[in-house]
Amino acid sequence: MLTGLGKLLNRLFPFFLRPSHTRSDVQALVSTLEGGTFDFRRFERVLGYRPINWKLFFESLLHRSYLQYVGATWQSNERLEFLGDAVLNCLVAEHLYESYPDMEEGELTKVRSRLVNRKTLAQRARDLQLSDFMLLSSSAIQSLEGGSESILSDAFEALIGAIYLDGGIEPAREFVHRTLLSNTSVVQTALQDDNYKSALLEYSQGRALGVPRYAVLREEGPDHDRRYTVEVFLGSESFGIGTGRSKKDAEQAAAARALEKINTPSLEHDTSPS
């Protein structure tokens, strides 16, 4: 049986084993790259946070197109984006749950999906001028200048993942609140739009999954009280089933269930060292 102190040390042990890189380590690498400069102080002001392991934050800004210039010991921001996406969904869900006690589950799902979509996150990244710090190939820069939102939104999520790994859930929560949830205009826009199908279409197209396909499973009841059951697919995979008095309502319900499935957080652990 572990004592209370033993349990704490057992929880912290992986943190102390995590390879750490100081600002000097990252600066040494940056000096070998084209341009050779990185404004660390400005980046810290943008974050509102002082990093401990700078490798995490360097990699949160490292697009896969730039890997050829930095060597095999560095990874692109894709894994951090995966983690940051889960952390972001969890924190937004928590905020909505606490802020809107009378809001039904379906509405909560809908609002969350709007707050974490690519368009919204890309704009948050622009507000932070995150592209000033990113490492991108010339072709990726052209995509960014052409209006690509995925590069910016992915970097924003990767940054959240880096903050979470470096400092735990509280700094990540503060960053998400400051950059996203405290923006009254963004939140109000998310609260007002009620088109589940549009939100699902935006999600699927943003991730190159194609156009959602809706299939009627059943039509039941008399003509004056007809009930439709619809299933929605992304590719060949079923993402949700909904019912309604019209095909349109059933499709909206199915899309809502799909968004719920997509956005349900699977975050179970707080890796905070404190």
Catalytic center residues: 85, 157
Check: CB of residue 97 under 8 Å from CB of residue 91. no
CA dihedral of 91, 22, 138, 47, whole degrees rounded to 10: 30
- Give DSSP secondary structure letters for 217-272: EEEES-GGG-EEEEEEEETTEEEEEEEESSHHHHHHHHHHHHHHHHH---------
- In the chain, the largest separation of any two C-alpha atoms, in whole Å, equals 74
**Cα 212 to Cα 28, 82, 180, distances in angstroms:** 47, 22, 28
**Cα 180 to Cα 124, 132, 160, distances in angstroms:** 7, 19, 12
